[in-house]
Amino acid sequence: MALAGHACTRESAVATRIDISPCNACPVRSMSVCSALEADELKRLADILVSVKVDAGHTLFAEGDGADTLFNVTAGTMKLYKLLPDGRRQITGFLLPGDFLGLSINDTYAYSAESVTPASLCRFPRRRLEGLLEDYPKMQRRLFAMASSELAAAQDQMLLLGRKNAKERIASFLLMLSERARRRGYAENPVHVPMSRSDIADYLGLTTETVSRTFTQLKTSRAISLLEGGKVRLNDMEILQELAEGV
């Protein structure tokens, strides 16, 4: 219980409650777990959520904290990571608006979550949300589908780390971000890459120096262009696809 209390204290330091109901005008409702609910059912969901805003670099929760809260990302980018026994960090995923986080089969979180950019999230008490899932099986099915997509993404990352060289990994990463943006109705090219080179390295199993060098190589070959505001223009999709596929 002390761990869970510590997590809540840490979050409240930068979280801001928003008094208006966020569900009516939520820009990512169609992509989130609540997309399965009708208007009257959304009222029950809105009654148990708190909308919070966090600054970039904020730890939402840490591995080992009590898993008594769930979150839905409505704006910004989050990263999930685990600390390895030797002190290294392995980023296991980047979450975008519409993504859900905090699910745990145990009473503690199995990973840490930190904001890459300023972010907005809906925060749900775990027990009360579980009660709603029992009342609304269609919401439960939607959450299961999202969890299945996360598993598929984890399998893709295993392939990325085990079978591809640095250029192939970076190309795959950029195409993945582009595809995720397209599915959400955002611009797919240029692609928004708000993560630091260090974050990308910890996700792809590379060194920061290798990531920087590979971006430079792709830029020099004109496969990509590095733009201001953390954006990357994908100039030659055919080359990037071939790299990603190991051709």
Q: What is the pLDDT of residues 173-223, one digit of tens each?
A: 999 999 988 888 888 999 999 999 999 999 999 999 999 999 999 999 999
Q: How confident is the model at residue 121 (pLDDT cuts 50, 70, 90)?
A: very high
| Longest CA span, the chain | 56
Of 33-42, 53-62, 72-81, 129-138, the poorest mean pLDDT is in 33-42
CB atoms within 10 A of CB 236: 14
**Contacts of range 158-163, beta carbons closer than 8 Å, 24 or more positions apart:** 160/204, 160/205, 161/204, 161/205, 163/246
- Closest by Cα among 76, 22, 65 to 45: 22
Averaged pLDDT of the chain: 83
Tell me, what's the pLDDT at 150?
67
Whether the bond between 190 and the residue before it is cis, its omega within 30 degrees of 0, is: yes
Tell me, what's the pLDDT at 17?
43
Tell me, what's the pLDDT at 7?
43
**Contacts of range 35-42, beta carbons closer than 8 Å, 24 or more positions apart:** 35/142, 36/136, 36/138, 36/139, 36/141, 36/142, 37/136, 37/138, 37/139, 41/136, 41/139
Q: CATH top-level class for 164-245?
A: mainly alpha
Ramachandran assignment for 22, one of left (phi > 0), alpha (psi -120 to 50 degrees), beta (any other): alpha
User: What pairs with residue 50 in β-bridges?
Assistant: 123
Ramachandran assignment for 225, one of left (phi > 0), alpha (psi -120 to 50 degrees), beta (any other): beta
Is pLDDT at 154 greater than 80 in this prediction?
A: no
Tell me, what's the pLDDT at 24?
65
Is pLDDT at 28 greater than 60 in this prediction?
A: yes
Question: Considering the chain, what percentage of its residues have pLDDT values greater than 70?
Answer: 78
3-state secondary structure of 111: coil
Tell me, what's the pLDDT at 151?
66
Most trustworthy range by pLDDT among 24-33, 97-106, 181-190, 206-215: 206-215
So where are the chain's domains? 10-154, 164-245
Q: Which fold has domain 10-154?
A: Jelly Rolls (2.60.120)
Tell me, what's the pLDDT at 13?
41
Q: How confident is the model at residue 31 (pLDDT cuts 50, 70, 90)?
A: low
Q: What is the pLDDT of residues 223-236, one digit of tens each?
A: 999 999 999 999 99
18 compared with 213, residue with greater pLDDT: 213
31 compared with 178, residue with greater pLDDT: 178
Tell me, what's the pLDDT at 98?
86
Is pLDDT at 20 greater than 50 in this prediction?
A: no
